[in-house]
């Protein structure tokens, strides 16, 4: 049987950069969408992002049983539990699962889609090795009409080479094209032309309440003739306004409560790798909870940091933590203290600052090797 290869194909250096972005920002989006509106007949449904049409055609020919479906696309109450019962469907190249019984809002559900497992069922007809996992919560929002409740990074001035914004909503947003409702204007009110990397369907978390907006790296041409160079979307020293139109509808069909605008002041670009060796750490214990305050050398990408920073005790156990931010350059890591005063802060080497720089490389410097490292990063500290 002929294999289907799922590739990113794009010409030129911009294609390579966008390919790198697509790999490096997997943590910023979910492969799934979860229906969390209790008033919807699809409450509890999990839907994948677009699946290639060739793969959908192969699946349609198989008439999979529940056991076959749930071998590659499943929802569980914990990783070792059996798959939740329900039915599968395909619409417009999206695969969906709807549970037989309404989900419990008190439970976090583990969701997985495995291309290798699907390939086994299709007799190795596809050559895709990605496995997508996420955690879904079905606690209904307090109101079905959405509004913008938060915008990050929360900085008085952002570096001109800022890579992304995050917009948080109070309720799930619909499947309309996000870029039809969002603009960035200069100080004269003139919209910037194509400031965002356009990602089909947008970069959403699983509940469709957090949108990631990627600014085009090196999109703007500066200079004239042979001296023309790539520049940043934002220019240092300039002021901009990001606007979101209230006609944008949420999953409930209701539009945003109000227009949203955010002033953006651009400062000098932030180029260069992070240096974790100069991070300042101070730990204390309060009512049995460990609190580690970390001051970093670069403003961190907050959603990534909340998934990529951990603590390990002297016995080698990685402890569950909660990461909160006082500012993009100061965070707190909380854990349940269990007596060990000698600990390590573990940092995923893919952690980025707000401009895409990691502890191993600078994101947008010419000649920089941008291959993600697997080297473990750690900083030892003691509880005072």
Cα gap 377→346, rounded to integer Å: 6
Does the structure show a pLDDT above 60 at 297?
yes
Does the structure show a pLDDT above 90 at 381?
yes
- The per-residue pLDDT for 200 is 80
Coil, strand, or helix at residue 229? strand
Distances (CA, A) of 255 to 148, 154, 168, 172, 342: 11, 25, 15, 11, 51
Dump pLDDT digits (tens) for 262-294: 999 999 999 999 999 999 999 999 999 999 999
Domains with residue ranges and CATH for the chain: 12-137 (no CATH), 148-267 (2.60.40.1220), 276-382 (2.60.40)
The residue-averaged pLDDT of 209-215 equals: 95
The residue-averaged pLDDT of 222-228 equals: 40
- The per-residue pLDDT for 23 is 37
**What percentage of the chain carries pLDDT values higher than 70?**
86
**Main-chain dihedrals φ then ψ at residue 267, nearest 5 degrees:** -115, -170
Looking at the DSSP bridge assignments, the partners of residue 108 are: 137
Dump pLDDT digits (tens) for 24-33: 444 558 999 9
Dump pLDDT digits (tens) for 137-158: 999 998 999 999 999 999 999 9
Cα gap 350→360, rounded to integer Å: 8
Does the structure show a pLDDT above 90 at 1?
no
Q: For the chain, what's the residue count?
A: 384
């Amino acid at each position: 049987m002929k294999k289907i290869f799922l590739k990113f194909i794009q010409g030129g250096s911009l294609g390579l950069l966008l390919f790198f972005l697509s790999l490096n920002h997997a943590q910023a989006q979910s492969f799934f969408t979860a229906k969390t509106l209790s008033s919807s007949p699809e409450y509890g449904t999990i839907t994948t992002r677009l699946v290639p049409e060739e793969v959908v055609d192969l699946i349609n020919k198989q008439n999979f049983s529940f056991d076959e479906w749930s071998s590659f696309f499943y929802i569980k109450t914990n990783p070792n539990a059996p798959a939740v019962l329900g039915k599968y469907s395909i619409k417009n190249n999206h695969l969906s699962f709807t549970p037989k019984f309404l989900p419990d809002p008190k439970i976090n559900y583990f969701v997985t889609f495995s291309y290798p497992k699907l390939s086994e069922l299709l007799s190795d007809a596809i050559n895709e090795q990605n496995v997508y996992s996420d955690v879904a919560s079905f606690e209904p929002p307090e109101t079905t009409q959405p509004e913008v409740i938060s915008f990050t990074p929360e900085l008085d001035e952002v570096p001109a080479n800022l890579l992304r914004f995050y917009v948080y909503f109070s309720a799930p947003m619909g499947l309309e094209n996000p870029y039809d409702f969002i603009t960035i204007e200069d100080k004269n009110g003139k919209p910037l032309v194509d400031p965002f990397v356009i990602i089909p369907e947008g970069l959403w978390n699983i509940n469709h309440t957090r949108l990631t907006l990627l600014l085009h790296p090196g999109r703007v041409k500066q200079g004239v003739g042979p001296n023309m160079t790539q520049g940043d979307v934002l220019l240092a020293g300039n002021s901009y306004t990001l606007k979101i139109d209230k006609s944008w509808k949420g999953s409930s069909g209701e539009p945003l409560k109000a227009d949203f605008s955010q002033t953006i002041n651009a400062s000098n670009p932030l180029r260069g790798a992070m240096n974790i060796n100069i991070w300042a750490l101070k730990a204390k214990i309060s009512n049995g909870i460990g609190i580690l305050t970390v001051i970093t050398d670069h403003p961190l990408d907050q959603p990534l940091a909340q998934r990529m920073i951990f603590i390990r005790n002297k016995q080698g156990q990685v402890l569950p933590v909660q990461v909160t931010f006082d500012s993009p350059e100061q965070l707190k890591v909380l854990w349940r203290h269990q007596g060990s005063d000698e600990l390590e802060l573990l940092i995923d080497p893919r952690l980025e600052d707000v401009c895409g720089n990691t502890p191993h490389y600078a994101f947008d410097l010419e000649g920089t090797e941008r291959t993600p490292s697997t080297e473990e990063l750690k900083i030892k500290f003691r509880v005072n």
